Structure 1
Amino acid sequence: MMDVSQTIETEEDILTCLHIKFYHPQQSCRGLYGVLPLGKRSRHSADDTLRLGRDSQSCTYTLVDPRVSRKQLALHAYRTPRSPDMLFTIQNLSQRGRLSVNSSALNYLERMDLPDKALIRFGEYEILIIRESGEAKASFEVAFEVLVGPPSRETCMCVPSMTPVMDTGSCVMNGFPAELRTRVPLETDETLMYNS
């Protein structure tokens, strides 16, 4: 006789996990994340949309901030025939403002595929979302944490572009603050070098 637990179809143990890491410049003096399940993994059905905003009735997770839209963003899980991975799209639900994903702006109701590592910005919030692959097909997990510093300064998505400068062997670094750029040698005019 077979044990009942062996006959019941179970989901694989390893679930895809979205690590969602928040930063706001005033997070230490405000209770912005007071209702988020920080430090715990929450399990969700893959066919349910995750919504983040300030309205606890219409959102799965809420931020205690009057400047956040009632419904700010949504995450939708999906699968493709060519990939075993659970993937996600992100959608801007705010009519008041833009949402950016790795510097690509999304207006109201626009959506895009969420990369494996994404820097999300709206208002003064910076959210780093990292997808950890799993085998489960019917559900996934979400893990929230708060960062002590802005992820835009720590992620490789914001590496300044390097443009070589002719005949100097140095680089002009676009994307660094102006005080750093002025210390880098600037390109010289070739005709001046040959005429002198």
Structure 2
Amino acid sequence: METEEDLLTLLHIKFYHPQQHCKGLYNSLPLGTRSRCSADDPLRLGRDAQACTYSLVDHKVSRKQLALNAYRTPKSPDMLFSIQNLSQRGRLSVNGSSLGYLERMDLPDKTLIRFLEYEMVIIRESGEAKTSFEVDMEVLTVPPSRETMVFGHQL
């Protein structure tokens, strides 16, 4: 049984969009507070607040844009994550690799994700808890891809 003392895996999710300062895109996100999520439920991000764990206030975003799935392997105590593209209309880029509809990829500890005009950085901090994890969201003031060396390769 998981206790309050168990250190939860933490996903830092950082968003950037060129018009974020004037559009209220992130009004539905719990910015600046940690949210606890069950490891057996996918974390969905999209426009539809009913179907998604977190929603973006943007008519260009798909109803269900992407899902993060927690998983574990027999060889590691760490909670790991994969990302799946849920959008039939658009591609999702994960560290420069393109994912089509329903395609899935394992996430490294630090990841740059792009869809539409959005850039997201996801950083995973390991924890011991096995049934839940935490999410911490924030908004970046500059695009993470603007850095010359991001995630080990030139962008």
- Check whether TM > 0.5: yes
Corresponding residue to 2:50 among 57, 69, 85: 57
Alignment partner of 1:131: what SS?
Answer: strand
Q: String of CA shifts for 1:142-170, please: whole Å, max 9, x gaps.
A: 0000000001123522643xxxxxxxxxx
Between Structure 1 and Structure 2, which shows a larger proportion of strand residues?
2
* 1:67–1:42 distance in 2 versus 1, CA, 3 Å: same
Distance apart, 1:86 and its partner CA: 0.1
In our comparison, the structure showing a higher alpha carbon Rg is 1
Q: Structure 1 67/158 Cα, relative in aligned 2: closer, same or farther at 3 Å?
A: farther
Q: Mark the runs of 5 or more structure 2 residues left unpaired by the alignment.
A: none
Residue-pair matches, total: 154
Distance 1:40 1:142 in 2: 8
1:27 aligns with 2:20: yes
Structure with the larger RCO, 1 or 2 (CA within 8 Å, 6+ apart): 2
* Corresponding position of 2:132: 139
What RMSD over aligned residues (CA atoms) do the two structures have, in Å?
1.5
Shift, 1:13, TM fit: 2.6
More helix by share: 1
C-alpha distance in 2, partners of 1:11/1:37?
A: 21
Alignment TM-score, normalising by the size of structure 2: 0.95
Q: Which residue of 1 aligns with 2:75?
A: 82
Q: Distance in 1 between matches of 2:5 and 2:75?
A: 20
Q: Distance in 2 between matches of 1:156 and 1:51?
A: 25
Q: Displaced runs of 4+ in structure 1, greater than 4 A?
A: none
Aligned CA distance change for structure 1 residues 10 and 159 (closer, same or farther; 3 Å): closer
- Residue ranges of structure 1 left out of the alignment (5+ in a row): 1-7, 161-174, 176-196
Q: Measure how far apart 1:12 and its partner are.
A: 4.2
User: What are the superposed Cα offsets for residues 45-81 of structure 1, whole Å, 9 maximum, x if unpaired?
Assistant: 1101100000011000000000000000000000000
- Code of the residue aligned with 2:86 in structure 1: it is L
- 1:42 counterpart (35, 40, 47): 35
